[in-house]
Amino acid sequence: MERLKQININHIEKVFKELSNKDISVLGISLISELKFMKTTLKNLKKEIKDRGVIVVMPQGNYDIERANPAIASYNTMVKNYNSTIKQIHELLSACNVDSTDDFDTDDLLE
């Protein structure tokens, strides 16, 4: 199985802090902050899905119904936003002529 990649967040944050263009620096740091939040949230959602399963039982008065775990929809939406944010960060670094190809490592979201 091919391993997915993720940005080495701490290194990229340091790169943004050292940029001379303060507008891009602030934007980059803001994106990194959001990326960190999403990464933590994705880990929590993934744990929820692993613990409770894809299908959960929901009480409905005198009976129960099975439905998709609500964490799945949140996870799917957030993982798209996470990937989009990574792309924005990469494009921002490319616009500043910063090579970010060395700032990728194995994805711990696969755990």
Contact between 19 and 84 (Cβ < 8 Å):
no
Residue-wise pLDDT for 5-36, tens only, equals: 445 788 888 888 888 888 888 999 999 999 99
Q: Read off the pTM.
A: 0.75
Q: Higher pLDDT residue, 54 or 93?
A: 54
- Give the phi and the psi of residue 57 in degrees, each rounded to 5: -95, 130
Gap between the Cα atoms of 49 and 70, Å rounded? 9
Per-domain residue ranges for the chain? 5-110
Buried residues in 77-86 as b, exposed as e (16+ CB within 10 A): ebeeebeebb
Q: Higher pLDDT residue, 25 or 72?
A: 72
The predicted structure's pLDDT at residue 109:
41
Residue-wise pLDDT for 33-65, tens only, equals: 999 999 999 999 999 999 999 999 999 999 999
